[in-house]
Amino acid sequence: MNLVSEILLGAGRRAPTKVAIVTNDARQLSFGDLDRLSGQLANVLTQRYGIVSGDRVAVQWNKVPELLALHIACLRVGAVYVPLNTGYTDHEVLALLDDAAPSLFVRPTPIAHATRRADFAELEAAARDASTDFDDVPCDADTPAAILFTSGTTGRPKGAVLTHGNLAFNCRTLNDVWSFTSSDVLLHALPLFHTHGLFVGAYCALSCGASMIWMESFDADAVARRLCEATVFMGVPTHYTRLLATTALDRERTASVRLFTSGSAPMLRATHEAFTQRTGHQIVERYGMTETGMITSNRIDGALKVGSVGPALPGVDVRIDQGLVGGVEVRGPNVFAGYWNRPELRESEFTTDGWFKTGDIGSLDDEGFLEIVGRAKDVVISGGLNVYPKEVELVIDSFPDVLESAVIGLDDADFGEVVTAVVVARSGARLEVAALREFARASLASFKVPKHFICVEELPRNAMGKVQKAELRRRLSVTTLIDE
């Protein structure tokens, strides 16, 4: 048995003529099309490129539906799929190729590396003459299925090895918790090189036989116009703020949607409230990461707590390490096998009793709902006192003229670090720093009030909408700070 390929292809094989994907230009692929193409590509991978079980296949390609067939083909072969961010530079890619040592790199343009490269058009051309029949290589729960590299904001990127068991568990659990069925239509506007877009969005839809409306990238107006055709939308907080900025978003267009989810970054309470007021819908926040897939989710039955990412998913355990300023730890079938070529990290990234240290700081309430306060590495230690950025950000974000903020620590000879707030003003507002500082003092202890307030037009974010605090620290460490 090939665990994940059977899950992804099973529902489609029961309804092969059903539309699996419809693109923006109205092109359609049925579940049968994906099944047949995955078989043809599996034959090409093995017969033309010599790919065998355990080989890594790296892919850096724009978001096209056929990429899902290639991913499934790798699973059927027993190969390990290594998706790379399409925004990576050649310099970044070369380092990842050295690390992953793939047997094949699927990418449109040449790169100065010894790895054999194939253009996706070459694969598709060869597939047209290949058989659609393929005997899947047996893969059990412990078989590696994918390597996803973490962002590498500190040190070199780490490749998280995800197994067939990890991916199957997450997929089945989310379908149950979010009540996915073959009647659903997912509006898919996420990238495919990330856990969110591939292992959450696409996997949930494919495994239950739901259709997908395929957006090559997120465009707020286009998404708002097509929400009337969907029952599910998955996004990140930035997507929702941009949807709220378009006049196309209203109750009529969202009437058919039964589930809006958000993850990959915390969502402001103001965004929650504005979205509910505009559409009548609540956004279900969930929590996960590359190494674990999904960990928690708010419930879709109305028991939703704004500011919380919900209780642990069934079968997943979450605890707070009181000895590490509230570090969130997790164990369960969703937790990855370890970091590729980094066995030394097993000791530092896992507890002695086998729990994975997420690096996030959080708290659990009496009902088991988790609230994420921030990243352990982002805690500001000023004068020996811990300052948790989210607590300060919540206060600053409630100031009328502030759209959003990011709180970081900057080196200081006296205090070690000083609290610094990087602030984006609301459109048309003129932010008065003195008034903002007094506002913060009314709610925060003096050591938590930012010493510096830096006004910027926007915060740096990665592809999934997470604010890049390491980048902020880098920029501001070489900048003269002028507050007033």
pLDDT value for 277: 95
- Residues 71-87 have a mean pLDDT of 95
pLDDT for residue 154? 42
What are the C-alpha distances in Å from 309 to residues 267, 335, 349? 10, 18, 22
At 477 the pLDDT is: 65
**Pairing relationship of beta strands 356-364 and 338-339 according to DSSP bridges:** unpaired
The amino acid sitting at 176 is D
**Res 376: pLDDT:** 73
What pLDDT, on a 0 to 100 scale, did the predictor assign at position 421?
93
| CA atoms of 211 and 182, how far apart (whole Å) | 7
pLDDT at 389: 85
**Residue 122: partners with Cβ closer than 8 Å, 6 or more residues away:** none
117-118 and 104-106 as β-strands: parallel, antiparallel, unpaired?
parallel
Question: pTM for the whole thing?
Answer: 0.84
Q: Which of the pair, 413 or 269, is modelled with greater confidence?
A: 269
Q: In terms of DSSP bridges, do strands 104-106 and 56-59 run parallel, antiparallel, or are they unpaired?
A: parallel
Residue 414 has pLDDT above 70, yes or no: no
User: Token digits for 328?
Assistant: 């969130």
pLDDT at 324 > cutoff 70: no
- Between CA 163 and CA 3 the distance in angstroms is 10
The answer to whether 298 touches 305, Cβ cutoff 8 Å, is yes
All structural domains of the chain:
3-188 (3.40.50.12780), 379-477 (3.30.300.30)
Residue showing tokens 């199957």: 168
**Packing angle, helices 269-279 and 237-244, rounded to 10:** 50
What is the band of 436 on the pLDDT scale with cuts at 50, 70, 90?
Answer: very high
The model's pLDDT over 20-46, given as tens digits with 9 standing for 90+, comes to: 999 988 899 999 999 999 999 999 999
- Predicted confidence at residue 474, as pLDDT, reads 81
Q: What's the Cα-to-Cα distance from 291 to each of 98, 119, 195, 333, 357, rounded to whole Å?
A: 21, 29, 9, 11, 10
Q: Cα separations (Å) of 108 from 113, 119, 128, 146, 464?
A: 14, 5, 19, 21, 23
pLDDT category at 151 given cuts 50, 70, 90 is low
CA angle 278, 279, 285 (to 5 degrees): 105
**Contacts for 407 with CB less than 8 Å, ≥ 6 apart:** 380, 387, 389, 390, 392, 393, 396, 419, 420, 421, 422, 450
Angle CA(8)–CA(358)–CA(382) in degrees, nearest 5? 150
Report the pLDDT averaged over residues 245-263.
94
- CA 334: distance to chain centroid? 15
Token duo for residue 174: 């989310």
In one letter, which amino acid is 129? Answer: D
77-98 average pLDDT score? 92
Q: What is the mean pLDDT of residues 3-15?
A: 92
Mean pLDDT of 453-465: 83
Distance of CA 391 to the CA centre of its chain: 23
> In this predicted structure, what is the pLDDT of residue 423?
93
Q: Comparing 97-111, 146-160, 293-307, which segment has the lowest mean pLDDT? A: 146-160
What mean pLDDT is reported for the chain? 90
Q: Of 480, 476, 462, 469, whose CA–CA distance to 196 is shortest?
A: 462
